[in-house]
Amino acid sequence: MSETRYETPQEAEAAFYAAFIKRDVNAMMEVWAADDNISCIHPLGPILVGRAAIRESWEGIFRNSPEMQVMINGRSRGRDGAFAIHVVEEHIRVANEAPGNPMHATNVYHLTDSGWRMVLHHASPSPPPPAKAGTPTLH
C-alpha cells in the first residue's frame, strides 16, 4: 500500500495537492493513513469515514471535474508530537473560468510508522467578499 515515506507534514501536504491537480486517486490515497480512522469532509458534504468512502469520493470528484489549477496559501501550521494541523486557503481555478472564492481547509497529519499521513481533510467555502459601498445587496 504505502510506498512513499513523507518525512514532514509539508511533504505529505504537497503530495496531497499534487494528486489533486493531477486527478490521480492512487496518488491521493497514498497520502492518507492506511487505517480506517480517517475522515474527509468536502465542501458542503457529509462526513466520510474510512479509506473506501474517501477513495470513492475522490474518484467521483476526479471523474467529474475538468482540469484545475490549485494554489495554496498557508494560514497556520502547528505541530505537537505526532500530529500536525495545517489551516490553508485553497484557490481553485477550473480551466477557462475566473477563479471563485477560496476554500478554507483544515488538513491534519499523523506521524505513523510509514511517515506522515493525512488523517483529516475538511474543506468549506469561504464567505463571499463584502459588498462594495454603493452596490445594492439582495435581502
Give CA torsion, residues 46, 52, 55, 61, to 10 deg. -40
What pLDDT was estimated at residue 127? 83
94-135 tens-digit pLDDT: 877 777 889 999 999 999 999 999 999 999 998 877 766 655
d(CA 48, CA 89): 21
3-state secondary structure (DSSP) of residue 54? helix
Cell 492512487 locates to 26
> What residues does 79 pair with on adjacent strands?
84
Residue 7: DSSP 8-state: S
pTM reported for the whole predicted model: 0.87
What pLDDT was estimated at residue 134? 58
Residue 137 has pLDDT above 60, yes or no: no
Are 37 and 119 spatial neighbours (Cβ–Cβ below 8 Å)?
Answer: yes
Output the nine-digit C-alpha cell for 122.
475538511
Residue 139 has pLDDT above 50, yes or no: no
Residue 34: DSSP 8-state: S
